[in-house]
Homo-oligomer: A and B are copies of this chain.
Amino acid sequence: MRSSITWQSIEAEALRRLQSGDWAPGTRIPDEATLARELGCARSTVNRALRELAAAGLLERRRKGGTRVPLTPVRKATFEIPIIRKDIEARGQTPGYRLLSRRIAPLPRATARRLRVPAPRDFMHLTALHLADAHPFCLEDRWINPATPGLAEADFTAISANEWLVRNALFTRGEIAFLAVNADADTAARLGCPPGTALFRIERTTWATLAPVTAVTLTYAPGHRIETAI
């Protein structure tokens, strides 16, 4: 027996009922078995559709409690975290890269806290400038766990730490934050903008299992924005 009912079509029908008010905020919708019977498909198909909607924040599901329409749905947006070089290429510009410094040094207290390690520990510290069409694009300030395999041999003048880590040190857990900062004198000089300019910043911290991998601060040239569809 062939079926033309896809989980996407069930999802679309559910969305229609949500938009029309058929399924009102705060109420409970029929259980999966009932919907499967009503819509003429298997329960697992209904399950897949409702699971996707729950992942998007449009439904709340609990065993025994059933599936409910939240009064105030919390929508989710997914951003891609590309390698900086790829990001620049995707904008149709030519990527460039300049290593500014590389040394072993004790973690600053704030960075140690981000990485959840006891403070006076040595990490590798790198700073680098990414260029787009020869113009400053992004300033990278990074601390790397010196125990990372292969780190000592890595040539960070040829490949950015960003790219090296993505290829050589898969992380399993991380935190990311977006914020705005005024350019200090040093940052302004490196990015070629007036001091005080509002800059977009990303802070990312990652671990492999429990071991810290890296903490990085990316400060972008003026006008940078990140976008996604929801």
Contacts and interface: CB of A to CB of B under 8 A. Distances in A.
Interface of A: 15, 18-19, 25, 57-58, 71-83, 86, 163, 166-167, 170, 172-182, 196-201, 204, 206, 208, 223-230
B72 A81 contact: no
**How many copies altogether?**
2
Given A77-B81, A198-B182, A228 B176 contact: yes
A111 B148 CA distance: 48
Nearest to A86: B72
Q: Is chain A's interface secondary structure helix, strand, loop, or mixed overall?
A: strand
Nearest to A169: B19
A227 B71 CA distance: 24
Contacts of A18: 170
Given A72-B166, A167-B71, A208-B19, A77 B227 contact: no
A154 to B, nearest CB: 16
Contacts of A173: 229-230
Contacts of A167: 25, 71-72
